[in-house]
């Protein structure tokens, strides 16, 4: 996944209710319920849990508003979250002391750690799992249906594995032809030969899919950052199909569901 910008995240904290409404409209479930579904639970109860979000200055440094936005997403799903005063190792130390040994921190890898239980989640895998869960729900059950996965990185593979377990027929496209995938997946050399009704767009490259790849009523679950659908194509799909896209929310909620 590409790195988020201040612009990508600046409105997330104030749009979480709207996001829930959109998700209910498409999947029948809110953000928290989708993350519960992703970890195969009926519901999630975060009562009594305190979680620290630690700003990380190392690597490529701070993204203005990133920690606060993660904190807002966690609060929205019912977690008692706070941003630590300290950064990096100092922040992790502060987080472990003040919270229930749970913290979120992102440098080049975005992790959530439950220090007490030993549970760890990583954003790319959690994001793939969360968006695949949303597609499963939006499709009314993906069993026996053909799904196109674009991008066979951590996000795309996590989505493919989840949907395969649910009985989907997986076709996968990745620009790296040497990459190895589950032999049960159909490996596509190019993606413009066939139209799909169910698509996971998990590649960091804009414009890999167009109208020739999607039916008019397609459901596209797009975990990639940035938003890789060309605007004109996305607008067309939104008219009669469905698009599930948010840059951070499903990933963070699913990370929390995994470590809780």
Residues contributing to the site for ligand PYL (CB under 6 A) = 1, 3-4, 55-56, 62-63, 66-67, 106-107, 110, 123, 225, 248
Least distance from ligand PYL to the Cβ atom of residue 224, Å = 9
Least distance from ligand PYL to the Cβ atom of residue 123, Å = 5
Which CB sits closer to ligand PYL, 11 or 212?
Answer: 11
Q: List alpha helices for 29-87, DSSP H.
A: 31-38, 66-76
Q: What are phi and psi of 156, to 5 degrees?
A: -60, -40
| Per-residue CA distances from 135 to 85, 97, 150, 190 (Å) | 38, 38, 14, 23
Residue 226 preceded by cis peptide, ω within 30: yes
Which CB sits closer to ligand PYL, 37 or 104?
Answer: 104
- Count of other CB atoms within 10 angstroms of residue 120: 13
Q: Which among 87, 71, 69 has a CA at the least distance from the CA of 79? A: 71
In which order are the strands placed within the sheet that holds 119-122?
80-83, 50-54, 102-106, 110-114, 119-122
Which CB sits closer to ligand PYL, 67 or 203?
Answer: 67
Which CB sits closer to ligand PYL, 67 or 121?
Answer: 67
Least distance from ligand PYL to the Cβ atom of residue 59, Å = 6
Distance between CA atoms of 55 and 45, rounded to whole angstroms? 26
CB contact at 8 A, 164 and 198: no
The tokens 């994001």 sit on which residue? 127
Which CB sits closer to ligand PYL, 64 or 140?
Answer: 64
CA 249 from centre of chain: 7
Dihedral angle over CA of 208, 210, 213, 215, nearest 10: 150
Least distance from ligand PYL to the Cβ atom of residue 144, Å = 32
Which CB sits closer to ligand PYL, 62 or 188?
Answer: 62
């Amino acid at each position: 996944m590409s790195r988020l910008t201040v612009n990508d995240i600046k409105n997330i904290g104030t749009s979480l209710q709207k996001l829930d409404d959109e998700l209910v409209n498409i999947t029948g479930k809110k953000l928290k319920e989708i993350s519960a579904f992703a970890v195969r639970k009926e519901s999630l109860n975060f009562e009594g849990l305190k979680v620290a979000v630690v700003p990380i200055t190392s690597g490529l440094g701070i993204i203005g508003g990133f920690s606060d936005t993660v904190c807002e997403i966690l609060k929205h799903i019912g977690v008692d979250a706070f941003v630590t005063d300290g950064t990096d190792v100092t922040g992790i130390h502060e987080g472990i002391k003040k919270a229930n040994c749970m913290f979120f921190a992102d440098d080049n890898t975005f992790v959530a750690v439950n220090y007490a239980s030993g549970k760890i989640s990583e954003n790319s895998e959690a994001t793939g799992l969360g968006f695949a869960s949303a597609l499963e729900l939006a499709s009314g059950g993906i069993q026996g249906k053909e799904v196109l996965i674009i991008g066979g990185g951590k996000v795309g593979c996590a989505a493919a594995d989840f949907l395969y377990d649910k009985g989907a027929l997986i076709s996968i496209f990745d620009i790296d032809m040497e990459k190895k995938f589950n032999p049960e997946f159909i490996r596509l050399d190019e993606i413009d030969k066939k139209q799909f009704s169910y698509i996971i767009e998990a590649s960091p490259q804009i414009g890999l899919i167009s109208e020739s790849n999607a039916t008019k009523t397609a459901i596209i679950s797009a975990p990639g950052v940035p938003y890789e659908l060309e605007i004109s194509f996305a607008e067309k799909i939104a008219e009669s199909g469905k698009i599930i896209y948010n840059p951070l929310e499903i990933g963070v909620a699913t990370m929390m569901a995994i470590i809780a």
